[in-house]
Amino acid sequence: MRAKAHDGETAAVHEVEVEVSSWALSFRLGDEPQIWRFSEIEVEPLGDQVRLKRRGQGARLTVAADDWRAATAADAAPVARRHRRRERRLVVGLAAAAAAIMLFVFVGVPLASGPLARLTPPPLEARLGETYAAQLQFAFPTCAGEAGQDILHAFGDRLEDGMDSPFNILVEAVEAPMVNAFALPGGRVLITDDLIAEADTPDELAAVIAHEAAHVEQRHVMQAVWRSLGLGLILDAVVGGGTGAGQQAVLLAGSVTELRYSREAEAEADARGQEILHNLGFSSEGMAPFFRRLAGEDRRGERAAGVMEFLSTHPDSLRRAEASEARAQSGAVAFTPDEWRTIKAACEGEPRAPSAD
Amino acid sequence: MPESMAAPEAAGTPLRLEQRAKLSSYLGLSLKNGLLNLLTLTLYRFWGKTEVRRRIWSSTYLNDEAFEYTGRGMELFIGFLIATGLTAVFLLFVFGVQLLGPFAALLILPIYVGLIALIGFAIFAAFRYLASRTAWRGVRFHLTGSAASYGLKYLGLMLLAGITLGWAWPFVERRLAEPLWANLRFGDRPFRFSLVAARKENVYGPFALMWFGAVVGYAILLALAAPWLRWAAQSQSMTDPAALAQLSHAESRLGVLFSLLFLLFLLISLPYRAAMMRSVARGIQFDGARVRLKIGALAVGWLYLGNVLLLLFSLGFLMPLVQARSARFILNRLVLEGGIDFAAIHQSPESGPRQGEGLADAFGLSII
């Protein structure tokens, strides 16, 4: 059959006559006789032509597709089958690798995050917490009311007696435009000014602080740090600059896993927080009413409770209210009326300037 | 009589470039690549991308002979593994710095500046890989020069663009195109890039249109959004349902506004985009050949609009189709003037890097 040949040395064109045997092609390229075994030939279809190359060489043959089919009718099928088999193996291998990575990140790392968090040396976690606190200081400055802060500090110290925490619980009021409380790694608990304003009774505030202290004791924060490290690694490294769909799938899977774990952690912190209050003889009756009011806030979007529970970062407040109501015990009030007024006033006035403490 | 078998070809053979991709054939490929990407957590992307390139290259004809893409998915995959290792080291470093104390985080800042240079490095390395895996008539392309010095140049030029509030951007774009083309070789023959020729295309007029248009656009956006932002800040703890309904209404209006502004920015940037593409094409020279790109703002606009719609409605699945469509669009508007003595071109002594594009993939940089 006739073919156009390139010798792989120059960009010139040669017209050659190719002999086809049952196992190879033979032709002359310049002075060189060439023998290309079918097993070494790669075939690339180009419309009504095909381009042939011998693996690892620059030389090329271009022949009419019909000629090629006629010449290799018997031998082409195994080549195509081999190619399909190789691709199937590749896809199966990659899918297995993907499944292994998914298992590792969404099951392995979360399962390991508990033990990992417990194995993390407390000094290391404390140092991590200090770094976070220093960075948060710029967004959420500490409230200026020293007297109120002192009462909160004292309450944090008091809570330590009722729990089994490797850390000092350091409670601090901060200015932030939201009703919330945070536990940082290493024992720092931040309460926002809006939350202090929203709390109706000392019991409610005490319950929130005890809940956050329980997160610290159970090392939930450190667990979340480990989990996000795993998810971050997979997002940055595996999915990389890939297609949008894959990235979204990983993000969704990640947030669903995170939500499941955070819901478990919240429920655990509710129960343990109340237990800590009981250990110290404090009332734990403030938790339920506070959740009920938060639930009222949740409902302002008029969304169904089930949807909120599945997709919101605030797990269903009403359910948590019922659970904590069932566990609630009466007891001493955490703050005297005087102390309560002082705490309420802690965030009036300009916040403290960020400092490098 | 082997030499008489060589087809007679004049020393200055006129050149004709044609992209003959059948776009419908990319629908099936898009579906296959998309599904396999989902199944493999996008790990298949290296092989998918390779197949797209192979098809586009082999349907691009110079004087009736198809180009060839010789890259392999595995090479991209290995490049990715290397980049992943580097990324992991970097992430661990960032995490470790957090443990050093509150203000040690500032140590990371210079590294982020270095990342800009790394982007330049990645662009050059990816272009080098692409060139080395491109062949025509069995003769390879290759890119000489240093990716590291391109990275530094990239960093310097980006800083320049920043300092001049963007006004150096056309200068920057040409200077960044220059090393990519001036270092390119086909076989043993160098390409050249003539800044003088590239400057013959006026880009500053269209650029001024884009720059002032963007400033005016931002001003409008701020003027319209400011009352809304103030109001939203006040209604932080609002619980009144009527006010909330109003708030979400305002939010959706802001969304519409953003989309309109995005379209406006796209529209006013088209004349500049087209002019810069013409300018870079005009600077490219090879042997006796010169390049002209015959595209205007309107045509580029249609291309972009079509691409955006295809990607939007297919949730990104039709990326291969979009790439083929763009390649066909641009290559069929490239006119090659003058001729080339093909018989005098010898094979490149370099076979190129063994693996490719890892960093460019990590940054999401590769064009195709």
A206 near A155, Cβ under 8 Å?
yes
Residue of A nearest to B21 (CA): A47
| Whole-Å CA distances, A337 to A143, A198, A202, A341, A346 | 20, 17, 8, 6, 14
Q: What does the block give as tokens for A111?
A: 């399962």
Give residues 306 to 335 of B whose Cβ lies within 8 Å of A. Answer: 315-317, 319
Is the torsion defined by CA of A12, A17, A20, A24 positive or negative? negative
Report CB contact under 8 Å: A10, B40.
Answer: no
Residues of A in contact with B5 (CB under 8 A): 14-16
Record: contact A245-B315, CB cut-off 8 A: yes
Look over chain A and give the mean of its residue pLDDT values, rounded to a whole number: 81
Distance CA A346, CA A355 (A): 19
Which H or E element spans position B67?
strand B65-69
Going from the C-alpha of B143 to that of each of B49, B78, B349, the distances in angstroms are: 21, 20, 12
Which among A4, A9, A10, A251 is the top mutation candidate for probing chain B, defined by the most B β-carbons within 10 Å of its own β-carbon? Answer: A10
Of the residues B13, B19, B43, the best mutation for testing chain A's interface (the one with the most A CB atoms within 10 Å of its CB) is B43
Task: Give the length of chain B.
Answer: 368
B40 with A60: Cβ contact below 8 A: no
Question: Which of B37, B38, B40, B340 should we substitute to test contact with A (largest number of A Cβ atoms within 10 Å)?
Answer: B40
A36-47 average pLDDT score: 86
User: Best mutation site among B4, B38, B41, B106 for testing chain A: the one with the most A CBs within 10 Å?
Assistant: B41
Cross-strand bridge partners of residue A52: A43, A61
CB contact under 8 A, A238 and B41: yes
- Where are the extended beta strands (E) located within chain A? 2-6, 14-17, 19-20, 24-29, 32-37, 41-46, 49-54, 60-64, 170-174, 181-183, 188-192
Does A134 sit within 8 Å of B103, measured CB to CB? yes
Question: Which residues is A2 bridged to in the sheet?
Answer: A17
Tokens 């890039």 found at: B193
Residue A110 exposure: Cα atoms within 13 Å on the Cβ side? 19
Beta carbons of A98 and B43 less than 8 Å apart:
yes
Kind plus residue range of the DSSP H or E element containing B62: strand B60-62
**Is the alpha carbon torsion for B256, B257, B259, B260 positive or negative?**
positive
Half-sphere exposure of A310 (CA within 13 A, CB side): 6
Which residues of chain B from 4 to 63 reach within 8 Å of chain A, CB to CB? Answer: 5-7, 9, 20, 34, 36-45, 47, 54, 58-59
Checking DSSP bridges between strand A170-174 and strand A188-192, what pairing results, if any?
parallel
Task: Report strand pairing: A2-6 vs A60-64.
Answer: antiparallel
Which of 157-186 (B) contact A at CB < 8 A?
186
Q: Could you give the CA distance from residue A113 to residue A104 in angstroms, rounded to a whole number?
A: 12
CA-nearest residue to B38 within chain A is: A246
First to last CA, chain A: 85
Which of B34, B45, B58 lies nearest to residue A46, judging by beta carbons? B58
Cβ count within 10 A of residue B246 = 14
Q: How far is B138 from chain A (nearest CA, A)?
A: 5
Whether A237 and B315 lie within 8 Å, measured CB to CB: no
Which helix (DSSP H) or strand (DSSP E) does residue B335 occupy? strand B334-337
Q: Which residues make Cβ contacts (< 8 Å) with residue A301, sequence separation at least 6?
A: B244
DSSP state of A314: S
**If you measure CA to CA, which chain B residue comes closest to A294?**
B239
> Would you list the domain boundaries of chain B?
92-188+347-368
Tokens of A22: 């049952």
B5, B83, B319: residue with CB nearest A243: B319
ipTM of this complex prediction, to 2 decimal places: 0.77
Tens-of-pLDDT digits for all 368 residues of chain B?
344 344 456 566 788 999 999 999 999 999 999 899 888 888 898 999 999 999 999 999 999 999 999 999 999 998 888 887 887 787 777 777 766 666 666 777 777 788 889 889 989 999 999 999 999 999 999 999 999 999 999 999 999 999 999 999 999 999 999 999 999 999 999 999 999 999 999 999 999 999 998 888 888 877 877 776 666 655 544 445 555 566 566 667 777 777 788 788 888 999 999 999 999 999 999 988 999 999 999 999 999 999 989 988 888 889 999 999 999 999 999 999 988 888 888 888 777 787 766 666 655 555 56
Q: Any idea how long chain A is?
A: 357
DSSP state, residue B142: E
Instruction: Please name the residues in contact with B52: beta carbons below 8 A apart, sequence gap of 6 or more.
Output: B26, B29, B33, B320, B323, B324, B368
Which fold, A2-74?
A: PH-domain like (2.30.29)
C-alpha dist (Å) from residue B29 to A83, A338, B21, B76, B77: 17, 73, 13, 19, 20
Please say if the pLDDT value at position A299 is more than 60.
Answer: no
Residue A59 or A296, more confident? A59
Q: Which of A29, A3, A32, A5 is nearest to A17 (CA)?
A: A3
Q: Is the distance from CB of B138 to CB of B107 less than 8 angstroms? A: no
Q: Do residue B139 and residue A242 have CB atoms under 8 angstroms apart?
A: no
* Residue A169 DSSP symbol: -
Interface contact B89, partner A, CB < 8 A: no
Q: Cβ–Cβ of A233/B91 closer than 8 Å?
A: yes
Whether B71 contacts B53, CB under 8 Å: yes
Q: CA nearest B295: which of B334, B338, B337?
A: B334
Tokens of B143: 């890119």
Band of the pLDDT at A356, cuts 50, 70, 90?
Answer: very low
Cβ neighbours of B288 (radius 10 Å): 14
Beta carbons within 10 angstroms of residue B1's beta carbon = 4
Instruction: Rounding to the nearest 10 degrees, give the CA dihedral for residues B242, B243, B247, B248.
Output: -20
* Sequence spans of domains, chain A: 2-74, 99-344
* DSSP three-state, residue A162: coil
Q: pTM for this one? A: 0.76
Return the ∠ at Cα A283 (arms to A278 and A288), rounded to 5°: 105
Chain A contact set for B314 (CB, 8 A) = none
Give the amino acid at A199.
A
